Structure formats: C-alpha cells, structure tokens
Structure 1
Amino acid sequence: MSKQIQVHASLFLVALIYAANFSVAKEVMPEYIGPFGLIMIRVVSAALFFGILSKLLVKEKIVGWSDNMRSVLCGLTGIAINQLCFFGGLNLTAPINAALLMIVGPVAVVVFSAILLKERVGWRKVTGIGVACLGAFLLINNSASSSTTGHWLGDLLIILNAISYGIYLVLVKPLMLKYKAITIVSRIFAVGAVVVIPFGYQQLQTPDYTSFPTFVWLALLFMVLAVTFLTYLLNAWALKFASPSLVGIYMYLQPLLAIFIAVGFGKDVFTLEKGLYALLIFAGVYLVSRARQNSIVKV
C-alpha cells in the first residue's frame, strides 16, 4: 500500500470515528451516564495514557513560567471547557446540529488569530465569517422551534465548544513549535482532568454499572480507545505527510459522515432547512480557509 493511500485511509478513519461519536455518545447520554461523567471517564483515561506515554518515550519537561501558564490555558480551552461544552451540548441537541456547528471551528481560529496574534484578516475572510455565522444563527434559531430535533441551548454550547477549541489552537501553536507533541498533549490532558473531575465525579457515582447492557460498555470503549487514543495516534502519524489543507478537507467530511450515520441509525432527521443552513456554514468556512494546496507532503 502506497504512502498516499495510507495517509488518506488514516485521515478518513479519523473523520469516520469522530462522525460516529456524535451518535454513539447520544446512545449513552443521559439514560446510562451523564455527560460530565462521560467526560471524566474519557479525559482521565487520556491523561493517564498520554502521561505514561510521555514519561516512557519522551521524558521532556515544559520549562519557564510563560510556557507553563500557556500550557494551563491550553488545558482549560482545549480540553476542559471544550469537552464540557461539547458533551453538555450534545446531550441537549441533535447529532446533526452538533456536527454542523462544530465546523465553525476554523472561523473561530481566524478570529482569535487576528485578536491574539495580530494576523491580517482580508475581505474574503470577513465575508466568510459573516456567512458562516449567519448559517449557525439560522440553525440555532431553527432549533428554538419545538418541531425540530435540535435544542437552542445545546447548539449554543456546541458553538462555545468550537470557540474554545479555536482559542486553544491559537494558544498551542507556539508550544508545538518548541516542544514535542506528546509533551504538550500529556500536559493539557492532565490540566483538563483536574478541572473536569469536580464536574463529573457525582455523575460517575450515580449509575448502576452492573445493569449496563453490552452495547453501553462497547460505546464507552469506543469513546476512550477510538475517539481519544486511536484518533490522536493516526492524526499524529498522518500530519507528518499531509498538508494542513488536506487535513481540513477531511475535517469538513466529518459532518457529512455524521449526518449519514445519524440518519442511518434513526438518531436524527435531516431536513431541507438544515441542508440550507449547512450550505451557508460550509460556504463561509470555505471562504475563510481557501487558498491552500490540498496535497500530500512528499517525504
């Protein structure tokens, strides 16, 4: 199998796993376990896994007050706030709404790059931000109707999740240039675990785990092993050979796959209105992130 096929297969599998997570998580929440309890399981497991991996393979430390404080902020925005808003929002709204609103992440990156890094924002990006925000607003407004499968508060939490992750991507960039990826990931998951434990501890104590059917245990394993560990390892490997724009294309594929999975398993309904709002969101994100070459970087 050629390197190109391996890279595309890895990125597609990552997109498929993330897309499936929208419907899989809805199977577990809130009937069997609350959203914050689910976050605690995932984040604490990841903190232990990446912490051990970092100690065994890298043994690198983050030095200096500035870098340590930045890593704490990355843990807050990239893990704690991100995950609390995502699972809290997904618990309330529909899988398709969550998947579509997640795609505004690149818009948040551009906005906060302009604010924090003073990057220039041209007319095309401004137009894209406006179009994507319009699509997101119409989708949230549509969710306020009782006849839809979404929920406006859940939609807003998903937007906050995307904004938080956008801030994280801007904050983490200088650290990623200075330290190994596993060093940063182990730190931010450790910070995230400390923050989410108070939120999730009570919800983790509530369920009667002996009554869980097999599919719930399989869903939990999927979210810990596949959504957290496998996606990180596949992404880390693929990013050595793939351009950022190629990774972006597969990121845009996630909501489409999520729609097929949610509709196919009867977890949501895809309406004409959602389709039109999705087109606005995709058009806006395209304008924001265009002008990059979507190719494999040669070894």
Structure 2
Amino acid sequence: MNQRSIAILLVSIATLIYGVTFTIAKDVMPLYVKPFGFILIRVFGATAIFWFIGLFVKKEKIEKADYKKILLAAVFGIALNMLAFFKGLSMTTPISASVMMVTSPIMVLLFSSFILKERIVKRKIIGVVMGLLGTIILITYGNNSDDTASNSTLGNFLVFVNAASYGLYLVLVKNLISKYSPITFIKWFYLFGLILVLPFGWTEISEISWGTMPISILLKVGFVVVFTTCLTYLFNLYGLSKLKPTTVSVFIYLQPVIATIFALSVGSDTLSTTKLFATGIIFLGVYLVTKQAENSTK
C-alpha cells in the first residue's frame, strides 16, 4: 500500500470516528457527565497525551508574540468550540448536530473574506446564503419530540456557534501551523485550552459519580479522549501531508451520513421531513461554495 492510499485510509478512519462520536458522546451526556465536565475531561486527557509525546520530539522555541496568537486560537478552537458543541449536543439529536457541522466550510469562507480579505464571487455568495438558510430552518423548525432532544432549537444554535467558532479557528491558525511542528503547536494549544475550560468544567467534574458509572460509559469517555481528540488529529495531519487540502476537506461531508446511519442503527435518533429538507439546502450551499473554490484553485 502506497503513502497516498495509507493517507486516504487514515483520513477515512478519522471521519468514521467523528461520525460515531455524535452518538457516543450523546450517550454519556448529560445523564452521567454534564457537557462542560466532559469537555474538561477531554481537554485534560488530550493535553496530557500531547505533552507526553512532546517529551520525545525535538523542542522548538516559540516567539513571544505567537503565544498570544495560540491563546486566541485556543479560545475559538477549544473553549468556545468544544463547550458550545457538547452543550448543544446534550440538548439536540446526533443527526441534527452532525448536519450543523457541515456549515464549517461556509464559515471559513466568510471569515477568510473578512480577515484575510479574500474575494467572494457571486456563486460563493449564493452558496453561503443557501447554507445559512438551511441552518436557520434546522435551528428553528428541526425540533424533535424524541426524549434525547431536551431543547433542539437552542441545541442546534449552539452547535452552529461551534461550527462558526471552528471556522474562525482554522483561519486564525493558518500561519501558525506552517511555522511550528504539529506537536509543538498542539501541546501549547491544548494547554491554553485547558486553562480556559477549567473554570467552566470544574464544578461539573466534582459532581461525577465515578464509582457508580457503568463500564460501558467509562469506555465511551475514553473513546472521546483518545480517539476523537487525539487520533483524529494525528490521522488528519498525516493526510494533509500526503493529500491536497481540498481532498481532505471533502471527507467532512461524510460525517452526517455516518452519524445518521449509526444513530438510526442504535435507535438514538429519528429522521423527519424537516431534517431532510434542511440538510439538502445546507449541502447544496456547501457544494456551491467548495465547487467554486476548487475551480479557482485549478
């Protein structure tokens, strides 16, 4: 198997992990672990793992001015991003949450226009409008009578905030990632993130009854820390080193498909006409945005 095939395989595995995480994390929250407490566990675990790996990697000196940039990236890439996502997921359904995540490429386009001053052509504008229209429909009318969705409207909105925050993070770290090695950047990135989420998750961590928690739930918590947080980053990193960014980004569109199949198979979510309609509009909007970007690249 050549390097390209290995890269595609690893990125596919990362996408599969992301897809099933929507349901796995939903099983843990909020019954056993509240959202902010779960985030603190996730970030603490990832920080420990990446700093441990950093012991075996050549040390790099980070410029003082870049510490502020990494801190800002941690605000949007970890604190606001993860806190909004897990809180929103605890209130909505796995399928709705996975669809909202697909709006990230649209938000990247908008932030790139404002921050990096990249020009937006007419076709991209239409795509943005359609994507946001589908998002509004899902947020407003995608309520589910299922017990797993305590407040779908607010939950869907928070997942959208997460997608927007993640999109801004991708724009902010564009130069930092190319300046430092991945491990050097990510260990400081997660350390700052840990400091930021600590005040939010500390109380909820103290409320966890570890002794009465089923082994299956403990395994799911471990899955999110090791696989969703750490392995996916490393797999996507290898993929980016061997494949074009546009090739890797296409895999995000598989997440709702995987999330839907897994959620329906375990009975944690249901489909509705509103969800299907809103999903179709969002995907069409993202298609118009990314299709034009690929043509421009060519």
Q: TM-score of the superposition, structure 2-length normalised? A: 0.94
Whether 1:78 aligns to 2:77 is yes
Residue 277 to residue 188, structure 1, CA distance change in 2 (3 Å): same
* Distance (Å, rounded) in 2 between the aligned partners of 1:156 and 1:143: 11
| 1:138-153 equivalences in 2 (<5 Å) | 138-144=137-143, 149=149, 151-153=152-154
Q: Shift of the alpha carbon at 1:144?
A: 4.8
Partner residue in 2 for 1:233: 234
* Distance (Å, rounded) in 1 between the aligned partners of 2:293 and 2:124: 14
**Contact 2:26/2:89 (8 A) holds in 1:** yes
Whether 1:33 aligns to 2:14 is no
Whether 1:118 aligns to 2:117 is yes
* Distance (Å, rounded) in 1 between the aligned partners of 2:210 and 2:139: 35
**Contact 1:85/1:158 (8 A) holds in 2:** yes
Render the CA deviation track for 1:5-28: whole Å, top value 9, x for unaligned: 322211111011001100001111
Residue 90 to residue 143, structure 1, CA distance change in 2 (3 Å): same
**Contact 2:146/2:269 (8 A) holds in 1:** no
Identity %: 38
**Contact 2:100/2:160 (8 A) holds in 1:** yes
**Contact 2:142/2:275 (8 A) holds in 1:** no
**Contact 2:177/2:185 (8 A) holds in 1:** yes
Q: Shift of the alpha carbon at 1:193?
A: 0.3
Number of paired residues?
A: 293
* Distance (Å, rounded) in 2 between the aligned partners of 1:287 and 1:248: 14
**Contact 1:15/1:251 (8 A) holds in 2:** yes
Partner residue in 2 for 1:297: none
| 1:1-299 equivalences in 2 (<5 Å) | 1-65=1-65, 67-144=66-143, 149=149, 151-291=152-292
**Contact 2:88/2:155 (8 A) holds in 1:** yes
RMSD value, Cα: 1.7
SS at match of 1:240: helix
**Contact 1:112/1:166 (8 A) holds in 2:** yes
* Structure 2, gaps ≥5 residues long: none
* Distance (Å, rounded) in 2 between the aligned partners of 1:202 and 1:216: 20
**Contact 2:15/2:252 (8 A) holds in 1:** yes
* Structure 1, gaps ≥5 residues long: 295-299
Q: Shift of the alpha carbon at 1:265?
A: 0.6
Render the CA deviation track for 1:260-294: whole Å, top value 9, x for unaligned: 01111101001222111111101111111124669
Q: Shift of the alpha carbon at 1:58?
A: 2.9
* Distance (Å, rounded) in 2 between the aligned partners of 1:222 and 1:58: 28
SS at match of 1:22: helix
* Distance (Å, rounded) in 2 between the aligned partners of 1:78 and 1:58: 25
Q: TM-score of the superposition, structure 1-length normalised? A: 0.94
* Distance (Å, rounded) in 2 between the aligned partners of 1:100 and 1:84: 18
Q: Shift of the alpha carbon at 1:71?
A: 0.8
**Contact 1:54/1:60 (8 A) holds in 2:** no
Query: Which segment is superposed worse, 35-44 or 46-55?
Result: 46-55
**Contact 2:124/2:292 (8 A) holds in 1:** no
* Distance (Å, rounded) in 2 between the aligned partners of 1:241 and 1:286: 24
* Stretches of 4+ aligned residues off by more than 4 angstroms: 144-150, 291-294
**Contact 1:58/1:182 (8 A) holds in 2:** no
Q: Shift of the alpha carbon at 1:145?
A: 6.9
Render the CA deviation track for 1:88-141: whole Å, top value 9, x for unaligned: 100101111100001100111111111111111111111110000000011111
